Amino acid sequence: MDLFKQKIEKLRRKINEANYNYYILDNPTISDAEYDSSMRELQQLEESSPQYKTADSPTQRVGASPLTKFNTVTHRIPLLSLDNAMDEAEVIEFVSRVHKALPGEQVEFVAEPKIDGLAVELVYENGIFVSGSTRGDGITGEDITQNLKTIRSIPLQLRSNQHPIPSLLEVRGEVYMDRNDFERLNEQQLAEGKPAFANPRNSAAGSLRQLDSRITATRTLSIFCYAPGSCEGFSFETHIEFLQTLPLWGFRINPLIKLCKTTDELIDYYRSIETKRDTISYDIDGVVFKVNSIGQQQTLGIKSRSPRWAIAGKFKAKQEITQILNIEASVGRTGAITPVAHLQPVQIGGVTVSNATLHNQDEIDRKDIRVGDWVVIQRAGDVIPQVVKVITERRNGAEKPYRIPAECPVCGSHIIRPEGEAKHRCQNMNCPAQIKGRIQHFVSKRAMNIDGLGDRLIEQMVDSGLIHSVADIYFLKKDDLAALERMADKSAQNVINAIDASRETTLARFIYALGIPNVGEHMGKVMEREFKDLETLIAADYERLEAVEGIGPIVARAIRDFFDEENNQQTVNRLLEGGVSIAKSKTGTQDERFAGKTFVFTGTLTQFTRDEAKEIVEKKGGKASSSVSNKTDYVVVGENPGSKATKAKKLGVTIINEEEFLDFVNK
């Protein structure tokens, strides 16, 4: 072997071992001076012999050119959020639900602190770190690979001397900043005349979302890893087994993790961690309890956005007393009106709080909240400030009751409160307060899918007066875009091409893109299947809508209210005038072989993507799931199937390959 290559590999092993001992085991084995000297020597050798430079070298943690934007990444398995237990009683209720769903079975739980940071996913192929992303909306996140490489507690290459390495491994974790590092960062910010960060979580999130990874590298970030995503070529029987394996591969896990076997042990852990909360060097806002057995997790399954086998036990929020100076109506992306209390600024848990949500008119009436009241404020989940109660003893008669106005404070359109809803809403989808969020939603991947229309460009177009509604997008010219700051002719043409490509769409996508309250992707597909075309849907009265299976009274009223608003009718008509063409639905006839059947796809698929497979199944009247259970009908395996195939065999679920699936589809 080339002597240069031998020396390079020896130095890499030395530096990787030093990183592992320092960041994972908290046991430094070489001095800082020796570490720096070895790193400089490795950099020099790689510069002189660039053919030996690899992506997993310790020298590649920083150095990539700044990005112009973050690309999006679709998670192979959704990063679900957790339901919350707000006190011990709700933790006990969670345990009872689990035991009820698993009658007669012994159930263990893994308990760990809930870190107040930013959730990320790390992807390794054959032991090499290839990409990393934020949680995002749970389905898609932002590609922050270069920034994650700067965190030295994230291995660029997995250790293989103690445990075999899967061909594909996804690891979820929480990136955070220690309080001491946060204070040092803020001191530096203020010394440079820059604004201080609000709290450690904001500083961690802001650091990870820097387009220049060299800036991220100057921030001291850490990570605790806590959950798997996809894992191919390897499987685990229990969650604790997975956690115990992570350090063998080079990952850092929380030292306070504990295996609990009884409800009393869970409650003792909950109380113990809350007691230690202020002595831990990083921010936590609760604890997480997970069913230990992977098989039991799969049996319990998931709800729409959260697993039934895990819960976040939240800590009691810290409270302070302050005065309400004023109450104003805030208008959200979908027109939801949220009353916001403007407060005499007060410090809660190291954060200055000057606003608090009052949620809705019912909440205001129930608590009898008035302008001028002295109130108890807390940060719910240590994040969202809210009013706990009014101190009526401090009233002097000058306090004023508050009612949500009848007209939108931004656009003047009428505000309604849909039947069955707590929220009031501005019905005008072109309301200036909503328009940026409306457009961002309209162009998103699962809506009209207009690539290139990012948040910054949308903000620039709205602020410059170039567009005032979603319909204006389809009347843009290349020269309009090219005239904007930092927009070259080629970039402008790319956006125009993406707009043109989006003109032909489906009814389901179009309905979802409009942002009708309570109407998500699934409901868009329900309406497409039932009404076939836009004209029939718009003409449907409330009774016709409510009669559709899956559309309840609240959704029916939301749809009818939306299309009854004149501004919205004009916008839809203008979208059609701009060339938007909605294909007539062909999904009306279900295939009896698929109806009510659940399919799971695993392994590397070569004939189609997972999204395409899901679409095929749903169009045929079936359901595509991400986990195998005794309710699964078929598991479709691609190359290198993982634990899902093993689980299917144990449960006796029918296993077919891609060719058999396609034959089944085309019969």
What residues have CB less than 8 Å from 640, skipping those under 6 apart?
A: 167, 168, 232, 233, 603, 604
Pull the structure tokens for residue 639.
């190359």
DSSP conformational letter for 366: H
Cβ neighbours around 657 below 10 Å, total: 15
Sheet of 258-260: strands edge to edge?
Answer: 84-85, 310-314, 284-291, 109-115, 258-260
Catalytic pick among 14, 114, 423, 647: 114
| Residue 550 zone, left/alpha/beta (φ > 0; ψ -120 to 50; rest) | left
- CA dihedral sign, ordered 380, 383, 387, 389: positive
The neighbouring-strand residues paired with 129 are 124
Buried b (16+ CB within 10 A) or exposed e, 528-553: bbbbbebeebeebeeebbbebeebee
Closest C-alpha to 565, from 466, 452, 426: 426
- Residue type, position 340, single letter: V
| Residue 80 zone, left/alpha/beta (φ > 0; ψ -120 to 50; rest) | beta
Q: Are 448 and 465 in contact (CB under 8 A)?
A: no
What residues have CB less than 8 Å from 535, skipping those under 6 apart?
A: none
Instruction: Decide the pairing of beta strands 598-602 and 634-637.
Output: parallel
Residue with tokens 């986990």: 627
Closest C-alpha to 433, from 348, 338, 358: 338
Helix, strand or coil, per DSSP, at residue 617: helix
The neighbouring-strand residues paired with 284 are 115
Q: Are 249 and 163 in contact (CB under 8 A)?
A: yes
Pull the structure tokens for residue 107.
């159930």
Nearest 10 degrees: Cα torsion 54, 56, 57, 60: 90
Told to judge if 667 belongs to the known catalytic residues of this protein, a careful annotator would answer no
Longest dimension (CA), the chain: 88
In angstroms, the CA 171 to CA 165 distance is: 13
In angstroms, the CA 50 to CA 422 distance is: 63
Torsions phi, psi for 293 (to 5 deg): -70, 125
Annotated active-site positions, please? 114
